Amino acid sequence: MNSVEIIGTGSYAPEKVVTNEDMSKVVDTSDEWISSRTGIKERRISVNENTSDLGAKAALRAIENANIKVEDIDLIITATTSPDSYTPSVACIIQEKIGAKNAVCFDVNAACTGFIFALNTAAQFIKTGEYNNALVIGAEVLSKILDWEDRSTCVLFGDGAGAAVIRKGNKEGILKAILGSDGTGGKFLHCPAINVVNPFSEEKELANSKISMNGREVFKFAVKVMVSSIKKVVEDSGLKLEDIDYIIPHQANIRIIEAAAKKLELGMSNFFVNLQNYGNTSGATIPVAVDEMNRRGLLKSGTKIVVVGFGGGLTWGAMVLQWTKE
Ligand code: UT7
């Protein structure tokens, strides 16, 4: 089996900043409620860009950071819950936008855990030698599927994209990955697509395709799987928690991260947090955070990080990554 190295990262968020104060003009809420219940201060909202536009910009930055040619990319996997269209896939649209003519492209949907599912899928193709250079993207324009009259969800989410380039390498960049799913919990975080309406169906009304969530159930699930996934992935990698330099959790709610940190007996300084600036961008939170850390110079050769995510499906996953770039 080949080794897999992460050789570049990139991210992009729409320019429009929407503060909690701005949100209080849309629904009956306040900066005090949003800040104290979630830690979110502002989010970016797309005015005229779709998911593939954000993804393509993040992808080009990752390719530049990896210092390879776009033609060298032979696989593109995009994680998204908010695609531009049912078909083509966001990965195919991004392929055209960036000119990655030699790539095989498809999307994965694992909601907020999507980037971890996509990265692990791409890694399998590289380990087996099927492909050499993969571009993995998490891109979301959640603002188009939010119910802007539901204050319990619309204040939580934002738009953004992050990307990573991985390649067949000499050093091991992905030390261990675990993924999980529980379809019985799908009802807790739901966004319906088009229902069956046709000349022969009983149903005549198209469903409203907006996100709905049982926040308390998702909160409990999130804390539980974050703690168990971090423990398991670190143990399975043969390392100990104290060997890990940073944990990059899915950025949904600071209280979820604090509760998990407490149960793991870790300080908050072990966790990278940027949700105050972006809110929850679902499949994009983890690659955006990895890119911010990379660009701030926090990732050095040998740095070990755990990325951990949870979300709709229900799904969850964690990976132990080792930075190999000098
Ligand atoms: O990527 C995974 C996605 N999801 C998550 O990670 C979300 C997990 N869940 C959460 O983060 C939290 O459950 C929430 C932030 C969604 C909600 O926090 P909470 O402390 O569980 O609040 P709650 O749902 O119990 O609501 C408390 C009160 C309610 O009022 P009453 O019934 O006590 O009078 C809500 O109506 O807060 C009210 N409320 C709001 N008030 C002002 C709900 N949303 C808002 C709002 N502004 N935006």
pLDDT at 117: 98
CA of 278 to the centre of ligand 1 (A): 18
Looking from the CA of residue 111, the nearest atom of ligand 1 is 1
Q: Is the CB of 324 under 6 A from ligand 1?
A: no
Among residues 320, 248, 239, 314, which one has the least CA distance to residue 284? 248
Q: Which of 261, 286, 258 lies closest to 274, judged by CA? A: 286
Which 8-state DSSP code applies to residue 156? Answer: T
Question: Which one from 191, 250, 253, 277 is the annotated catalytic residue?
Answer: 250
Which H, E and C letters describe 58-83, residue by residue? HHHHHHHHHCCCHHHCCEEEEECCCC
Q: Is 38 in the pocket of ligand 1 (CB under 6 A)?
A: yes
Amino acid 195: pLDDT: 92
Question: Which domains can be identified in the chain, with CATH numbers?
Answer: 3-172 (3.40.47.10), 175-322 (3.40.47.10)
The answer to whether 280 is a known catalytic residue is yes
250 carries an active-site annotation: yes
Q: What share of the chain is helix, strand, coil (3-state, %, to 5)?
A: 40, 25, 35
pLDDT (tens digit, 9 = 90+) per residue, 266-303? 999 999 999 999 999 999 999 999 999 999 999 999 99
pTM higher than 0.95: yes
Q: Mutation test of ligand 1: which of 152, 220, 280 has the most ligand atoms closer than 8 Å to its C-beta?
A: 152
Token code pair at residue 9: 């990262």
261 C-beta closer than 6 A to ligand 1:
no
Check residue 84 and give its pLDDT. 98
Q: Best substitution site from 26, 27, 37, 211 to test ligand 1's pocket, by max atoms within 8 Å of Cβ?
A: 37
- Ligand 1: centre distance to CA 152 (Å): 5
* CB distance 215 to ligand 1 below 6 Å: yes
Nearest 5°: CA angle at 180, between 111 and 78?
35
Residue 90: the pLDDT is 98
pLDDT at 176: 97
| Residue 114, ligand 1, Cβ within 6 A | no
Q: Is the CB of 226 under 6 A from ligand 1?
A: no
- For the CA of 213, the closest atom of ligand 1 is 4
Tell me, what's the pLDDT at 325? 83
Q: How does pLDDT run across 36-61, given as a tens digit for each residue? A: 999 999 999 999 999 999 999 999 99
Q: Cβ(252) to ligand 1 under 6 A?
A: yes
Give alpha helix (H) positions in the chain.
20-23, 31-38, 51-66, 90-98, 114-127, 151-154, 215-236, 254-264, 275-278, 285-295
Distance CA 50, CA 2 (A): 35
pLDDT at 206: 87
| Residue ranges for the chain with pLDDT beneath 50 | none
